[in-house]
Structure 1
Amino acid sequence: MNKYIAKLCEISEKKDLLVVGLMSGTSLDGLDIALCKCSKANVEVVEFRTKEYDQKLQKRLAGIQSQVTTDTRELTRLHSELGNYYGGVILECLNDWEFEAEDIDLIGSHGQTVYHAPAQTKDETSATLQIVDGDHIAQKTGIITISDFRQKHTAAGGEGAPLAGIFDEALFRDEAKHRLLLNLGGIANLTWLPAKDSGEKVISGDTGPANTLINEAMQKYFNQPYDKDGNVAASGKVHSELVRYVLLDPYFRKPFPKTTGQEEFRLDYVEELMKGHGISCTHEDLVASLTAITTQSISRAFDELIGDQEFECYVSGGGIHNKVLMNDLEKRISQANFRSFNELGIPSDAKESAMMAFFANDLIAGDGFPITGVTEGKVHFGKISLPG
């Protein structure tokens, strides 16, 4: 028997696994690495780090992400090169954290999303593509690697996103309190977790852009990766007409559950709208307006799903550091008690990488998860790559 197959059988019987979770989002700011102690019902983040991408790698990734037409040679090369790069980063982190590769049971790697294409008609199949080859990670590190989590979701009839709703319901639903978990990455996604004793259903989906448009504008006009603390937005004035035109996009009228990506919300799309409607503004005003698009689209989603019910709102993702964004959300959604996701026991910046560790653990040692409204029974997510 392959020794790694034997190891899989061995670790599947363990109560707790040590798993490295990896996440690189559509904002392309870097690779999140979380070393987690995982069980069927809990995740504890032991160590966490973000390895920032240099400008050269960011540019290469931006050249293939969410593009209708792309360079297939570059796509293919990055699929393998990033696997080796991820493996080297993991070994570097483990050394700094004083762990050996032999101490780690699994790696869970989300990969880099290059295109997300939810079905638009009943005759279409939802599709999503993440690169970063799991075999290269496993070979580089000597650690069994689980990757490509979103494909099972689409195979079972879902859109491939958001996986966060499954993770959120499994770990954070309260018996008596309504909760909403909001993640402000490139795209904003939420999970509505009504109290278990309420009889209401869990709902998850994407509200629209969070940081993606803001980051694009900052990179194009200010040569900065993002709007630190919301300082640029604070110096500008919201162009209400621009915000209104963007919020007329049909996506915002779709009912939940729904998903989207940078394929639909890109800066050039906004600038085409501006040109078509004769709108001009300063670059500072543009960033302020893009920030308002994020907050107003989230506020609309809250109104649609929750109404005037009181609830606790736990926020994660890079957008939590944008003071203008967070202050505007608090003003618009007065019934929400906004809190950092840290209060639920996982650092907010580590949530998505910890989620990948959790799904990797489940594939080997768990019971699977239902995909509400999509399929009966339970499914496991991910594909297995063995070293050697």
Structure 2
Amino acid sequence: MNKYLSKLWEISRKPERLIIGLMSGTALDGLDIALCALKGSGRDTKIDIREFTTQPYPDDFKKRLYSVQSKETTNTRQLTLLHSEMGNLFGDLVLRSLKEWKLKPNDIDLVASHGQTVYHAPAEVEGEVHATLQMVDADHIAQKTGIITVADFRQKHTAVGGEGAPLAGIFDDIFFRDEKYHRMLLNLGGIANFSWLPCRECNQQGFATDTGPANTLINEAMIRYFDEPFDESGKIAEKGKVHSELVRYVLLEPYFRKAFPKTTGQEDFQLSYIEELMKGHRIELSPEDLVASLTAITSQSIARAVDEVIGDQPFECYVSGGGIHNQTMMQNLKERIPQAEFKSFDDLGLQPDAKEAAMMAFFANELVVGEGFIVPGITEEKIHLGKISLPG
């Protein structure tokens, strides 16, 4: 028998597993690496984030990633090379982090890698399949680190009829649903999504959905006009003036008329699309006003989603993702969603910046030791997420 298959069996029998979760978001700011200790499985899972770091990408590598991410047309050779190179880079960054934490690869049971989303393509017409592609060769991670690696978590979701996103609803329902209080867990990454978690005692069905852009359009504008990767603290948006007509035109676009729950990606929301819309309506804006308007698009689209699917019932709101550092965006959300009591994500016992990397560790743990999940509205039988790559 392959020695790593035997090792997988041993890992599944351990009372606690050390799993490194890896997340690379659409902002391309670096690799989030979370060292997690997990006990149990399913609703009995206990997770403790022992260490967390974000390892930045080299500038040239970041530019190459940007050239293939969410593009209708791309360089196939470049995409193929990046798939393997990213595996080697992830492996190197894991080893660097382990050295910083004074740990060895043999101390770790599994690596769980989300990869880099290249393209998200939910079906547009009946009969099409839902599809999503995350780039990173897990075999390269496993070979570089010597650690069994789990990746491709979204593919089984699409294989059984889901859109491959958002996956956070599964994780959030298990760890953060409260007995008495309604909660919304809002993630402000490149794309905004939230998990609606009605209190357990009210016996309502929760769900997860994307709402539209969060930081992706803002970041694109900041790179082009200010040579900065993001709007730090929302200072540029604060200086600018919102063009209400541009915001209204964007919110009339087809995605926002789709029924919830739904998914989207950077494919639907790129700066070139905004510029075409501005040209068609003869709108000219200063860079500051453009960033302010893009920030308003994010906050208003989220507020509209909340009004449509949650209404005016009060709830606790916990926010994660890079958008939590944008004070202008956060203030806009608080003003537009007055029924929400915004609370610190730290109150839930989990670092907000580490959440998505920890979620990957959780899915890997469930694949190896758990019974899997039922995906409401999609599956009646439990499924497992992820594929396993063995070293050697």
* TM-score in terms of structure 1 length: 0.99
User: What does residue 22 of structure 2 align with?
Assistant: 22
Structure 2 match to 1:340? 344
SS at match of 1:308: coil
Query: Partners in 2 of 1:11 and 1:180 — Cα distance?
Result: 34
Calculate the aligned-residue CA RMSD, in Å: 0.7
Shift of 1:340: 2.4
Q: Report the Cα distance in structure 2 between the residues aligned to 1:342 and 1:266, rounded to whole angstroms.
A: 32
CA distance in 1, matches of 2:57, 2:359: 21
Which residue in 1 is equivalent to 2:335? Answer: 331
**How many Å separate the matches in 2 of 1:278 and 1:256?**
32
1:104 and 2:113 aligned = no
CA drift of 1:122 comes to 1.7
State the AA in 1 paired with 2:170. I
Shift in Å at residue 65 of structure 1? 0.6
Structure 2 partner of 1:283: 287
1:182 to 186, 204, 208: 186
Corresponding residue number in structure 2 for 1:387: 391
**How do 1:129-278 residues align onto structure 2 when only pairs under 5 Å count?**
129-278=133-282
Are 2:74 and 1:70 equivalent residues in the alignment?
Answer: yes
Q: Distance in 1 between matches of 2:208 and 2:251?
A: 20
Shift in Å at residue 42 of structure 1? 2.2
Contact kept? 1:313, 1:337, Cα under 8 Å: yes
Q: Tell whether 2:294 aligns with 1:313.
A: no
Structure-2 separation of matches of 1:338 and 1:262 = 27
How far the C-alpha of 1:242 sits from its partner, in A, is 0.6
* Residues 22 and 356, structure 1, Cα contact 8 Å, conserved in 2: yes
Partner of 1:46: 50
Within 2, Cα distance between the matches of 1:214 and 1:124?
Answer: 31
**Structure 2 SS opposite 1:66:** coil
Q: Offset at 1:15?
A: 2.2
CA deviation profile, 1:314-341 (whole Å, cap 9, x unmatched): 1000000000000010011111011222
Q: Offset of 1:151 from its aligned partner?
A: 0.3
Gaps of 5+ in 2: none
1:344 and 1:367 mapped to 2: Cα distance?
25
Distance 1:340 1:78 in 2: 37
Task: Give the superposition deviation at 1:55.
Answer: 2.3
8 Å Cα contact 1:153/1:160 also seen in 2:
yes
Contact preservation (8 Å) 1:165, 1:203 = yes
Q: Percent identity?
A: 65
Partners of 1:122 and 1:174 in 2: CA distance: 37
SS at match of 1:11: helix
Q: Tell me the distance in 2 between the aligned counterparts of 1:200 and 1:119.
A: 28
| Deviates further, 359-368 or 290-299 | 359-368
Q: How far did 1:345 drift?
A: 1.1
Could you tell me how far 1:309 is from its partner in structure 2? 0.6
Residue 35 (structure 1) aligned with residue 35 (structure 2): yes
Question: Would you say 1:57 and 2:61 are equivalent positions?
Answer: yes
Write the letter of the residue equivalent to 2:287. H
Query: Which is worse superposed, 170-179 or 130-139?
Result: 170-179
Task: State the SS of the aligned residue for 1:50.
Answer: strand
Offset at 1:364? 0.3
- Give the number of equivalent residue pairs: 388
Aligned mates of 1:92, 1:275 — CA distance in 2: 47
Whether the aligned pair in 2 keeps the contact of 1:316 and 1:340 (CA below 8 Å) is: no
Task: After superposition, give the CA deviation of every residue in 1:72-112 in whole Å (9 maximum; x if it has no partner).
Answer: 10000000001000000001101110111101000000000
Structure 2 equivalent of residue 90 of structure 1: 94
Which residue pairs with 1:298 in the alignment?
302
* Counterpart for residue 363 of structure 2: 359
SS at match of 2:111: strand
1:203/1:256 contact within 8 Å kept: no
**SS of alignment partner, residue 114 of structure 2:** strand
Q: Deviations over 1:33-76 (max 9, x none)?
A: 00001132222111000012232112101110111111010000
Partners of 2:48 and 2:212 lie apart in 1 by 30
Letter in 1 for 2:355: K
The one-letter code of the counterpart of 1:36 is C
The residue that corresponds to 2:380 in the other structure is: 376
